[in-house]
Amino acid sequence: MALPLFFGVAGVAAAALGASALFTARTARRVTRELPPRGRFVDLDGGRLHYLDLGSGPPIVMIHGLGGQTAHFTHSLTDRLKDDFRLVVVDRPGAGHSPRAADAPANVRAQAASIAGLIRHLALERPLVVGHSLGGAVALALALDHPDAVGGLALIAPLTHPQDEVPDAFRGLAIRSPAVRRFVAATVATPAAIATRDKVLAHVFGPDPVPDDFGTAGGGLLGLRPSAFYHTSTDLVAASEDLPAMVERYGTLAVPVAVLYGRDDRILSPQAHGEALRGRVPDLRLDVVDGGHMLPITAPDATAAWIRDVARRR
């Protein structure tokens, strides 16, 4: 009886995984069809990048965070800035509509090198670089490794130091084996993301509300693609590789650095990643406001005003 039971359970599990994989593939096709690329592509040494080039004026480069894409900025923030600045909003390698080769590194400094290539390709003259969350770490690596490409940093809820604990919202992404990561991405990740959507987004956005149109105008639905899960998981695992050495180099930063944090951020601690920069970064500007982690979407007026002020003082 035990052997037939085993094969019966295995058969049910295999059928469930097959159905889940089929659902995942169909969902990915539908999401890609409904949320196509809206910008331009450029092929660089570090791979292919998708970016939006908006407005005119002094240049600002905008780098999104973990699991994000350009729409995290275009949802609410860029319209408030594009009349006075040229905004280059980029999908990080492996995110949004920027592909990442299977053998390409995902560490912070490698991503910064890709952004530096874009800045040089577009002939931007020492732009202000806005980095949100993981994009803040990429922006810091960019300023450390490519100081000629950066005129200043405006970091919103940035990751700045190594972090032992994975935020609750991202624990399902902490998969170290690439093979397991790819299997999960192709089978159960999409149904699980749909099932836990409200809980995860409440944590990411909290205490601020999640906009009703975040899935479409905010690009949230792009996270349902298996490639998005795979590369976001890869980014998470690689996120702290470069940070210990970067922390020791913060004192050498040769550009102005400003940091904006929501005091109720549930993803990254303002103390561990904002206050911790004091004493390491010369002349650091740190501003703390009411709100959570997703300030570019939940507090666009305050965030735009802050970026304007940083740009003006720079």
| Span 44-64, pLDDT tens digits | 987 899 999 999 999 999 999
**225 domain residue, yes or no:** yes
pLDDT tens per residue, range 173-226:
999 999 999 999 999 999 999 999 999 999 999 999 999 999 999 999 999 999
Residues spanned by the domain of 96: 38-313
CA distance 153 to 143: 8
pTM value is: 0.93
In a domain, 309, yes or no: yes
pLDDT value for 281:
93
Asked, for residue 33, whether it belongs to a domain, the answer is no
The reply to whether 9 falls in a domain is no
Q: Is residue 29 part of a domain?
A: no
Say if 232 falls within a structural domain. Answer: yes
Burial class of 123 by CB neighbour count within 10 A (0 to 12, 13 to 18, 19+):
exposed
Which residue, among 267, 312, 314, 310, has the nearest Cα to 155 in the 3D structure? 310
Specify if 25 maps to a domain: no
Total number of domains in the chain = 1
Instruction: Write the CATH number for 212.
Output: 3.40.50.1820
Is residue 259 over pLDDT 90? yes
In a domain, 27, yes or no: no
Task: Output the pLDDT for position 23.
Answer: 83
Mean pLDDT of 237-257: 95
